[in-house]
């Protein structure tokens, strides 16, 4: 299961949550128990590109699909 980085909006505590990609569980901050958390897109989240030969997931560059919704590319 993929690991996601979250950041609390209230106390700005950063923490990690593991859940399925298709699921969006209700996540609360482990520090202040606030449910106002924001998902942080980590730049090191792309896996499998260095193995070669495994094509279970097509590569998806964030900026090559017509629009960059994440804002990671800075365009
Ligand atoms: Zn918090």
Which residue did the predictor score with more confidence, 1 or 59?
A: 1
Which residue did the predictor score with more confidence, 37 or 65?
A: 37
The CA 75 to ligand 1 mean position distance, Å, reads 30
Mean pLDDT, residues 61-73 = 63
Alpha-carbon distance 75 to 68, whole Å? 8
What sign has the CA pseudo-torsion 43, 48, 52, 53? negative
What are the sequence ranges of the domains in the chain?
A: 3-40
The CA 43 to ligand 1 mean position distance, Å, reads 23
Is residue 24 within 8 Å of residue 35, measured between CB atoms? no
The CA 30 to ligand 1 mean position distance, Å, reads 7
- pLDDT, one tens digit per residue, over 1-55 is 888 999 999 999 999 999 998 887 899 999 999 999 999 976 655 555 555 555 5
Which residue did the predictor score with more confidence, 36 or 73?
A: 36
The CA 18 to ligand 1 mean position distance, Å, reads 18
């Amino acid at each position: 299961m993929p690991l996601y980085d979250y950041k609390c909006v209230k106390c700005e505590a950063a923490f990690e949550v593991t859940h399925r990609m298709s699921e969006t569980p209700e996540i609360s901050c482990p520090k202040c128990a606030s449910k106002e958390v924001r998902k942080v897109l980590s730049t090191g989240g792309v896996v499998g590109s260095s193995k070669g030969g495994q094509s279970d997931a097509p590569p998806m560059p964030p900026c090559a699909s017509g629009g960059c919704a994440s804002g990671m590319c800075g365009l």
